[in-house]
Structure 1
């Protein structure tokens, strides 16, 4: 039976980077290479219904071993794609055995150095086996660590039918990193009642709360004329957009000045010509009221700037992206309680956290599948310094198995 490390090293060498500019689904065909391999491996361990659907989702079922008729059907979910922020091509994973705490210099780019004084939680890994990339790519622990952990737990459960559990569903999604991970998931086909994404950071963490998120766009219609004859006529949309950007709060309400439960207004793209310009924003807060406040702040800035340009106009468009999954999970406290107990049974001191971001679990929860997020051990994701420890991945496998037993015990 493959270990979680063997699976992980195999998976990260497959380039599965998603593409936010693509209109296809999945956004890149190369994601299907890993998804197809996962189907083969799931069938090899005995899950005969494993399949890859036309949209790039992998579905599989671990049959129940319990005779109880009312054990809830669980789902464990991870995403196969990696971030567009850093190359995922030709990843060369390196295992630093029994790390002694010294700086880890990545060999293909000596400027990339993992230091325990700089990277969150790295100082807790002395003596463990650390996996990194070689310095020119990301590693892909986000979220191939979760994929490897679910696969290893599935193989363990199949090999140990004496462990009582209900029906367990496996779901691997594409395109999570570009915000489309649940866009075409078939929940009826999946047939689960509760779920866990395995896509968290530090060992022992369990996240039941995410940001609520909106996308916003300001479209500016300026007054265009020949620049040689523009005196008191031209109102350049590019300059108007620049004024709006310059008027955004700097000491608050921005990612670089907020932390913990503070939300923000964040411009992510800007394009245009002198006649028309567009600014795209993301709005983030843990409450819907907080999002509405940020919309009002942004609208106030837009209107204040536009008052200086009487010949021009602007419009603010807002689109809902996802909502805080805690709104759903609070109605199903057993999802969180069982996750915390599973970690305690594994010898961990659970850490309950909020995510300053979102997961597939956010959307799944509001689609009708209550879903919390448990740790995969991934760290410094979306960067060349990404790392994971073998021991943390092994612990995640134990927690997944424990969860299956706990839900059966309590049925």
Structure 2
């Protein structure tokens, strides 16, 4: 594809004379200038004047009732041209309305922390609707790895670990308990906490950006809510790392619409906490409008009762005629494969989940990627005071994926009909 044409596809809807520049903020440690207009917002790297984040609600929602005009291979080609040679394609998910495409930068096969390129292409129009492109940093550390994952799990007494290059520091295993130097085996959590706070500082207020976009078409769309039965529910597997995820989702469901309208989407969303039986899950999916689950899964099941438990809720356990309009499944594989398909077949209106692995491993430095994602998604889906206006489930997923630059817990898959307001 011609680069000039690609640029027009991206910029024609955003870079207009009436755009409003805001004060300098930081996003993943990058000093940025925010620009907004009636179509959305973008973050521009003040050092290079390059756009590193772009969210265009017009392009996201354009012609969703139409027919696809672009193939998956064509979408990948567009994304590769936008991202550049520094990034390696990790996955592409074909959803009813979009192609959700993820790249990451790797050096000698090891991922560089934070350096990724995320692209959403509207299937119906072929336009790039959103993207995040974190610029690469020169890697001056040796990519030496002396410890295997199994050794690290013993050192940190952890269940999972992921290897990263942290520019300016070295190669580190991030686990759900600690950070471990991949060469020495030393636990470096305290040092990494300081590095993360300074190096990857983020101060951008996406709700503020959207309040600047509160005009015309968006306002009229936000007034067109769904059934809104005020029925929210959250539940999880018996894993303490999932507790803050469902807490964040519940808090968002219960947050006031605005300072002028103090009521919320659901003043008292039901927190089922740890669920251990199929019948309870079927009850939840039969009685609540919007539901969030955080835990573990595979292509056919989600875990009930913890990692070591044999209790599961699988495709064959899903009762017919479920009534939930939106079910968000924060678990590896489940929402984006056969389990999600069966949920949609058995009555769940929209299923949002992951087609592959997700992780919540930054727990040791006071940050949970899954809780961050859950809070943002349900803010947008309910339209509470934090985000200024309500999005469809489809758009809320893209907004959360784009905003949360720590990508380990982003959900890439949609099943059923997700162009809905709850």
Give 1 or 2: higher strand fraction.
2
Q: TM-score, normalization: structure 1?
A: 0.26
More contact order relative to length (CA 8 Å, sep ≥ 6): 1
Q: TM-score, normalization: structure 2?
A: 0.26
